[in-house]
A and B are shown apart, each in its own frame.
Chain A
Amino acid sequence: MFAAQLPPLTASLFSLVAIASLLLSFVMLGSRWLTDYLIAFAGQSWLIAILSAAVGYYGHYPELYLIAVLTALFRGVVLPYLILRIIRRLKVNREIHERLSPSACLVVGAVLVLFAFVVSSHLCQALGLTGTAAVLALTVMLSMKLIGFLMLAVRSEALSQILALLVLENGIFLGSQILVPGMPLLIELVILFDLLVVVACFGVLVRYLLAQTGTSDASLLRRLVG
């Protein structure tokens, strides 16, 4: 663990960036507009890029700079641009059928964060991980995953679902950056290209959905077709 020997001010800036990226996923929960989701996702990706550059600087992992640049470029620019193109083509700019109102989502999300915190502190005790950075990374990771699942469950617009998947993935990436910063570069590259494929597939899927059902509302898909 690199985070044990950080000076206190740097440590608090670290946790500030991590929790700010968690906050941006709450922006997605609390808003109804698809462009808000997109901006929040892009901001989150930039924060994660800053975080991995900082981990690279303080933990002396030079390859993390490259990953930071790639993260900012792919997650922060290319993926949002692709999704923006889909949004423009769809002419749907907000979530219409809500199963749970945004304010209720925020409160449920807060409960999920508490749950993630309890789980990760128990996990760190069981694994013998010391230092608050591990608990912080695990908490942020787990709660971003849970928020992603929550969004997948309560939002029915196809684009919200793509973004929910991406938030889920961002959470895993953020956690791995702090917990195991020395991951091989190749794995990171593979993950990034995976994401590109995911978004491209979703683009095709949304088009198909439009052609078949006339809307991009995933809640209308109730029947499995073999």
Chain B
Amino acid sequence: MRDILLQIGQVLSVILLAPLLQGVILQWEERVQRAQGPGVFQPYRDLWKLFHKQAVVPQTASFIYWIAPIVAFTCMLTVPILIPVLTDFPLPQSDMGDILGGGLILTLGSFFITLAGLDSGSAYGGIGSSRAVMLGILAEPTLILVFVGITLLAKAMLPFVVNHLLVQQPALYWSPAHLFLVAAFFILLLVETDRLPIHSSTHIEVYMIEEARILEYSGPLLALLKWASMMKQFILYTIFCNVLLLPWGLSKQGTAVGALAAAAALFGKFLLVAVSVVFVETAQSRLRYYRYQEPLAASFLLAILAIVANQLR
């Protein structure tokens, strides 16, 4: 019973804290550029506003347009069940899928958003979808290599096993195999959360990648999509922190206090990652779009090095 409550708590913490993470990142990005920036609770207010608006549907839209936001949101509700968000032991139903299963569900959500971008037939949606797919084609092999690296490292594909192993063996934590996986995954994190330094962070349609796919949406459907993308960011940060980078500070016994403390610790870790993401986004000068393959080549290389280093361990 307690475990089921904890599992619900994991999903709820992802739902509720994801907009806060987005708000923090957006505010800090403005702060480092010496602007005031929106408040950290602005994403909540945006979602509230969007949920109370009317939905305007393009005439060309088919059923894909309607189901894409729901599928994307449901996918993001499913993934937190599989990964250690609050506790470092498996909870009920968390054996539904391993790392690859989680990756599959995450990709399914963004696949449907891509379809929806193509569905209405608008030019910007098409641009956004084609760009997102191009980046996905280059990011996917690296993602698979990172998963292979994790599997070779831990001899298991379950995130809980990786977490335990890294906590117990500092030698493994500091081995190049693990640290290069962390670096490769960090670049993937930037790709998947649409923070690569290859387009303007201001919202001009020409530079958009992921955002351009959902330009046709409005009202509650848009709110669902935005929420889903914030949750995707939160989930990827969770995998990065709790499985790879900072595997400490999870609830070991599963008490209520422990779970709350784990949620607080999780957010603390996210602030660390967010600082580095903001730093990368600000310090790295913007490249023109056709240099998108460079960070991805670097990430591919890091994954290869990690696998080679793992063989030499």
Contact = CB atoms under 8 A, between A and B. Distances in A.
Interface of A: 7-9, 11-13, 15-16, 18-20, 22-23, 26, 30, 102-104, 106-107, 109-110, 113-114, 117, 121, 132, 135-136, 139
What is the interface of chain B mostly: helix, strand, loop, or mixed? helix
Interface in B139-178: 169-172, 174-176
Contact of B308 (A8, A13, A20, A117): A117
B305 interface: yes
B297 A16 contact: no
23 contacts: A8-B169, A8-B171, A9-B171, A9-B174, A12-B174, A15-B175, A15-B176, A20-B176, A30-B298, A30-B301, A102-B294, A102-B297, A103-B294, A103-B297, A103-B298, A104-B297, A106-B294, A106-B298, A110-B304, A110-B305, A117-B312, A135-B312, A136-B312
Given A103-B294, A139-B308, 19 more contacts: A7-B171, A8-B169, A9-B174, A12-B313, A13-B174, A16-B179, A23-B180, A23-B305, A26-B298, A103-B298, A109-B301, A110-B305, A113-B304, A113-B305, A114-B304, A114-B308, A117-B308, A132-B313, A136-B312
Which range contains the number of B residues in contact with the other chain?
Answer: 20 to 34
B254 to A, nearest CB: 30
Contacts of A106: 294, 297-298, 300-301
A30 B297 contact: yes
Contacts of B305: 19, 22-23, 110, 113
A8 B178 CA distance: 14
A30 B176 contact: no
B293 interface: yes
Contact of A30 (B172, B174, B294): B294
B175 A12 contact: yes
A16 B293 contact: no
B62 interface: no
Contacts of B99: none
B256 to A, nearest CB: 36
Contacts of B300: 106-107, 110
Contact of A113 (B170, B179, B308, B313): B308
Contacts of A107: 297, 300-301
Contacts of A11: 171
A122 to B, nearest CB: 13
B141 to A, nearest CB: 10
Given A102-B294, A106-B300, A16 B308 contact: no
Given A9-B170, A13-B174, A19 B298 contact: no
Contacts of B255: none
A113 B298 CA distance: 14
Contacts of A12: 171-172, 174-176, 313
Contacts of B308: 113-114, 117, 139
Contacts of A113: 304-305, 308
